[in-house]
Amino acid sequence: MIDTTLALFNKDQFINALAADMQISANRVIINEIKEILPPFCPGCITKEVLFPNYLIPAQVTTYVSFGLQLPVDAFRHIIRIEPIIDNAQYLHHIVVFIAGGTVASNNNPIVENMPSGARPLYAWAPGAGDYYDLPPEAGFNVASDPAQDYYLVLSSHYNNPTQVSGQRDSSGMRVYLDTPRANNATFLFFGLVGEINIPANSDLYRQGSYFTIPLIPGNPDLHVFSSFPHMHSRGQQIWLERMRNNIFDAEYGRVDSWDYNSQRIYPENSIIKQGDILYTSCLFNTVGELNTIYGGEATYQEMCLVGLGFYPNVVPPGWLIAPYDALLSGRNNCSYPCNFP
């Protein structure tokens, strides 16, 4: 048995050692491929793949469709990793992963046309995203064993089919890892604008933005931010979220100064948000050459200005606006850049 886990692995040394072990000449050993075999991630976890069942993509430009599946949990657990499994990347615009409770229509019909009431976002994939999304060791997304609580994983996929091709299918989805509960329940929320976006035609670096004041939270917990996910469409140029505390902008999340729709990712963060902090989401758009006003919406030809934040604890007081594809919003600003918010 040859130990190949040495930090400074040398192919010739390996061949010589292998030949000696087999009692043959080294020139008789041919190595076609060398792969590093990593230990499995979380051997004690329950894993579940939630995949669209060979879904026939409609021959239309924009399609939003959801798929829900009950998670195999026998007790309260935490999702600690989410891995995207992408099949037809040419037509898949993005996937948002939600957790939902109650009875989901997927029991009898796996395709859920309308998002279940009360579903909470956990993770979003778009082109360029990484191979997996790990939560910090001290937190996880809670999954209950009671069907009346968060029990179902729901995928909401946006398909972009600009030439309206027929016959395309997709089996994309997610693999989740469920482990014993960690110290904190985590959550994921979007901040920014969708439906309120209104970008004039033929504008260079037109700024759209919104702000949200963190309200009084029972128990006064600090919100520990561990990830950010900025998202725009094709006219986006720059995006960032700023934290204002005591009238001073003192932190940023998810800043991208040269937006590339085909290279989106989740960024690690390590920061604290306190009650009373104001979060300003800003986006710069370029509509030079456009003849019509660009509005916000879910279609690819429309625009979004969103920064999702992953944080713990999962404290959502009354008054926080939470709905699929709608952001936390308490005010908005539009102006031609450069301009100042607020």
Q: What is the pLDDT of residues 26-36, one digit of tens each?
A: 777 777 776 66
User: Which pair of structure tokens corresponds to residue 99?
Assistant: 């957790």
Spatial distance between the Cα atoms of 310 and 186, rounded to a whole number of angstroms: 7
Same domain for 34 and 65, yes or no, is no
The region, left, alpha or beta by phi > 0 then psi within -120 to 50, assigned to residue 207 is: beta
341 within a domain of the structure (yes/no): no
Q: End of a domain among 182, 202, 231?
A: 182
77 within a domain of the structure (yes/no): yes
195 within a domain of the structure (yes/no): yes
Lowest average pLDDT, out of 1-5, 48-52, 56-60, goes to 1-5
295 within a domain of the structure (yes/no): yes
Same domain for 195 and 219, yes or no, is yes
Please give the model's pTM, rounded to 2 decimal places: 0.78
312 within a domain of the structure (yes/no): yes
Q: Give the number of domains in the chain.
A: 3
Same domain for 144 and 191, yes or no, is no
User: Which pair of structure tokens corresponds to residue 341?
Assistant: 């918010």
pLDDT in tens, 106-144: 444 555 556 666 778 888 888 878 788 899 999 999 988
pLDDT at site 34: 66
Q: Exposure of 301 by Cβ count < 10 A (0-12 exposed, 13-18 middle, 19+ buried)?
A: middle
Spatial distance between the Cα atoms of 17 and 11, rounded to a whole number of angstroms: 10
Same domain for 82 and 101, yes or no, is yes
State the CATH number of the domain containing residue 71.
Answer: 2.60.120.310
Spatial distance between the Cα atoms of 243 and 272, rounded to a whole number of angstroms: 10
- Average pLDDT of the residues in 226-248: 93
pLDDT at site 270: 95
Res 332 pLDDT > 70 = no
Same domain for 69 and 132, yes or no, is yes
Rg (CA), the chain: 23
Res 67 pLDDT > 90 = no
Same domain for 154 and 224, yes or no, is no
Select the more confidently predicted residue: 57 or 152: 57
Same domain for 175 and 206, yes or no, is no
With bands split at pLDDT 50, 70 and 90, how would you rate the model's confidence at 335?
low
pLDDT in tens, 159-209: 989 999 999 999 999 999 999 999 999 988 888 888 888 899 998 888 888
Same domain for 191 and 331, yes or no, is yes
83 within a domain of the structure (yes/no): yes
Same domain for 149 and 207, yes or no, is no
Res 259 pLDDT > 50 = yes
State the CATH number of the domain containing residue 283.
Answer: 2.60.120.230
Q: End of a domain among 154, 182, 210?
A: 182
- Distances 201 to 77, 210, 222, 305 between C-alpha atoms, Å: 49, 21, 42, 17
- Average pLDDT of the residues in 229-251: 93
Beta bridge partners of 285: 206, 236
Q: End of a domain among 129, 161, 182?
A: 182
Same domain for 58 and 176, yes or no, is yes
pLDDT at site 114: 61
3 within a domain of the structure (yes/no): no
Spatial distance between the Cα atoms of 155 and 171, rounded to a whole number of angstroms: 12
- Average pLDDT of the residues in 278-286: 91
Same domain for 131 and 237, yes or no, is no
pLDDT at site 52: 87
Same domain for 175 and 198, yes or no, is no
60 within a domain of the structure (yes/no): yes
pLDDT at site 258: 94
pLDDT at site 224: 96
Domain that holds residue 143: 46-182
pLDDT in tens, 290-329: 999 999 887 778 998 999 999 999 887 655 544 333 344 4
